[in-house]
Each structure stands twice: as structure tokens, then as C-alpha cells.
Amino acid sequence: MISRSLRFRAPLLWLVLPLMAGLAAGRLGALAPPRALLTAAAMAAVLTLLAGWRAQRIFWLPLVTAMLLIGMATQALHERRLPEWDTLPPREARLTLRLDRVFASPFDDRANGLATVTAAEPHLRDLVGQRMYFSFATRAGDPPPVRSAVVSVVGVIAAVPRDPPADTFESYLVNAGLNFRLSRGRELAVEQPASAYQVFCARLAERMNALLTRGLENRPEIAAVYRAMMLGQKHELSEEQHQLFMHSGTMHLFAINGLHIGVVALSLHFLLALLRCPRVAASLLVLAVLWLDVDTTGASPSAVRAFIMVAMLESAWALQRPVNPLAALAAAALLALMLDPPDFFSASFQMSHCVVLAILLFGLPLAERLRARWPALRDVPEATWTRRQRVRAWLWRRFLDTLGIGCAATLVSVVTGVQFFSVFVTGALLANLVLVPLASVVIMAGFASLMLGLAGAGWAGRLCNEGAGALLRLIDALIRLGTSVPGSSWAAHFRADWVGPAALVTLVAALLAGYAGGWRKEYGGFWPPVAVVAFTLILGVKFGS
């Protein structure tokens, strides 16, 4: 009998994986003009249809070729980088920008984020349509700019280096598909105000910020961590807190990501189940609230990706179809790449999708294998269990489930931690086994606080905040205790730039092969992915600063 966790199938992986490979190949250099690549992709698509009709055994070959070529063409079209831009010196320019994302800033008189150039001076017309990073001073007395507003600014524009070091801000900009940045800017005028919806989101964000602070006024450092976890405001974390969470492997707890979206979705479903809400209406309400949560907190790419995956799962549940998280992950990845192909190169995209993939392919089957190997109360028939024994059995099963999921997430985080953050955390597995459940309770309390506060029951929301604050103090104490242990984290970097991506690709291939083979002993069981990570650490990583 096939175990439950090994029944998932995701045919969309035949599209997603070669598309990703094509994007990566296109990043290394264009083999041909986009038009030629798309023409070849169209021919491969026709061959796919013919193979599906006449030679079904080899239909995958032209299909993979078509998606590979589409990925290469897509990367070339989105990069849109002219060779002469690399030699341009910084220059002053006047531009009109449509603000796509506005980053939270500790300074009231400055704004920074990502924008699209809608108008430029004649000698800079190549910039129109380009997305760029901006940083400019707002006009005295004006409120902070809001997403979707169109503003005219003057500042210094400079081309982003083509191949910056991996751990720099320029690398983040390149991975986001940006070619230019505007700094030392000054706002000249607001050409078009933000939409009413975005103004509403901005005001709601201010309201949520105030609600989450109630009861924690005397502990500003705890309130900052709370707002980072609930609203994604990581800029409020002190440098000490940032380093503490980074070196404990728990920084992911303080972002609007899959954990946050998942906990909020489950909390909403629990509430709507108590209210006897119909299935379809419940799904629509959950998705509406989740999107408002995502959009109000800045619509970060990680939050949008988590929302897309939850939306796929919600659709299956509402339509009473079997819930297939692997297919939902593949569909979410494909949709995310269609909406924003350069996001593939971001650390957030690679970490989040690889972690979820590892959990589905490795963590859940491992948890099932552990539960079968060490069942709860093996010698006591389940029909005779007392209430206390049932609680013990439930806790033991949840522990094994968490252990399997934690092992899977650790495999990915070991590689990506060195690749993106130059740190190897030895206690990340233990830290997350303890802290993820606590953080989930904090998110539940924060969500309850917001709902109660917005409903007018501020006193009840204050109680939720105080309870969340107590848990956050416990989390802080546990993290400080863990990081004080000698050898809990090490400065580390790969011996060559290609080692990290190669190790991640090899790890994903090992996970897919192991899952396809049912993790049978004759194929090495669960050890091949572990061996990939171990060999990477031994042969490809240099420890120390």
C-alpha cells in the first residue's frame, strides 16, 4: 500500500523545472535573440503535440525543450540590458516614477522602494518602462508616499553592476531584474495620487501598527519583534536582534511568509467553522482576508507567493477536489514566474520553494516512516487507550511530524544559509523544533488582536498582545541561550560562486529522485539528500571569516 505522503503527483513540474533551467541559462548569456528562441520554442511545442499523438513515450523531450527555450527568451526580454549601460557614469536625471513597492523606512522625510519609469527626458528615453530602485527625500509637510502614486523626482541614477557580489544590496537589485538605481533624489511633485484602495491599505497598516503596540509600550524591543512578525516590519529590529536571529537560523519567523499566511488561514478556517460558514463562502472570505493582509503589509514577493499557494489549496478544498500540496506548489511557482520571472533569482524565491518542496518530498514521508518505526504506545491496543494515553500519543505523533519537517527544512537551509547569508547554523533544527510552534501561537494571538481591535474590542486585543509579548520574551531568551553555546553558528562561504547553486540543484534532484523511488532502501532510503549536503559542507565550504 502506497503511503499517503507518496501519492502526490504534479505534472506541472514538467513545465516549471525546465522553465527555471531556461531562466538560469538565460542569465548566463543569451545564445540567440529572443525572437529566434521563441520561434524554436513554438516549433518544439508543435512537436510536443505530434509526439503526444503519435509517440507518447518521447513527448517529454520536445516539451522540456520548449519550456527551456521559453525560459531563456523570457530572461532576455526581462533583462533588457544594453551593453553600453555598463560604462555609463552616474548622472543627474529627472524622471517620473510609478511607485510599485515602498519599503518601510525609519526616516519620515525619505522614501525608498521599487518603481517603474513612466517618463524621462529625451536623452534618457531608454529608461521608460524600466523598473528601478529609488531613494528620494519627500517634500516638507507631505505624507509618506503610497504605492501606485506617480511622482516626479530628480536624483542621481547609476547602472547596477552586472555581476555584483552575492551578499550585497546590488545583488538583490540584479536578482529582482533591475538595471538602475536612483539615489540622493528629491521629490518635485505628485503627478498622480495613489489609488483609493492603496490609501485605504496604508491607513489600515497604520491602524494595525497601533493595535499591535497596545500593552507593549513599556517593552519597545518586544513590540518591534511583534510588528516584524505580524507586519513584516523588519527594519524596526535592532542590529543586535537582526544578528541574533540570523545566527540562530530563525530570521524566517519574522517575515510575512508561508508560516504567517498558513497560520492566519488555519485560524480563519477555525473561526468560520465555528460559525457554520458554507465551504465556498469560507474559502472566499479566507482568501479575501489573506490578500488584504498581504497587500496591507507591503505585498512582498514571499507573501504573494505564499498567498498563491494557499489560493490553490483553497480552490481544491472549495471545489471538493483532493488536496494535492505538491501540485499546488508547482502551480504557484509557475504562476509566480509568469507574473515576475526575475523573482526566480531572489534568495526568498529559492529558499521558500525549496524548503516547501523538501517538506513535501522528504519531510512528510520521513515523518510517516518514523511514526511507523516508533509508534506511540506500541504494546497497548488503541481501543483501550485512556484520555491521558491519547494525549500522549497525539503529542508523540506531532513531535515526529515536526522532526521530519524540521529535518527537511534543515537540508535546504544549510545550503541556502551559506549561499545567501554566509553563515552555518549548527543548532537550526533544534531551534526551529522549539520556536516554530511558539511563533505560531504568537501569530495566532496577533491575528486575534487585530480582529478584536478592528471590531472595537480593544481591551481584548490588548490581552492578546500581552500574552504574545510573554511568548516573545520566552523566544528571545531561548534564542539568546542557544546562540551563547560555543559553536552554535559559524561564518562560512562557498569556495567558488558556482558551488551553492550546484549544490541546491543537486539537492532538489536527489529529493525528486528519492520521492519517485518511494525512498526505498535499495535506492539508499533517505540518505542521498543528506549525503549531498554533507559532501557540500566537507568539500565546498570554507569556514571562518
Nearest to 136 by CA among 149, 145, 128: 145
Burial class for 6, CB neighbours closer than 10 Å (0-12, 13-18, 19+) = middle
> Residues 6 or more apart from 280 whose CB is under 8 A from it?
318
* pLDDT for 418 beyond 80: yes
Amino acid at 193: P
pLDDT in tens, 422-440: 888 887 778 878 888 888 8
Going by pLDDT thresholds of 50, 70 and 90, the confidence category of residue 537 is very high
Amino acid at 126: D
Residue 1 is predicted with a pLDDT of: 42
The mean predicted confidence, pLDDT, of the chain is 86
In the block, residue with C-alpha cell 503589509: 297
Going by their DSSP bridges, the two strands 180-192 and 110-120 should be labelled as unpaired
End-to-end CA distance of the chain: give it in Å, rounded: 51
* pLDDT for 247 beyond 90: no
Least confident of 108-112, 372-376, 386-390: 108-112
**Which parts of 434-526 are beta strand (E)?**
489-494
pTM of the model: 0.86
Going by pLDDT thresholds of 50, 70 and 90, the confidence category of residue 50 is confident
Name the 3-class secondary structure at 110: strand
**What is the rounded CA–CA span in Å between residue 12 and residue 382?**
41
**What is the rounded CA–CA span in Å between residue 349 and residue 343?**
6
**What is the rounded CA–CA span in Å between residue 430 and residue 114?**
37
Q: What is the maximal distance between C-alpha atoms in the chain?
A: 83
Instruction: Provide mean pLDDT across the span 379-384.
Output: 82
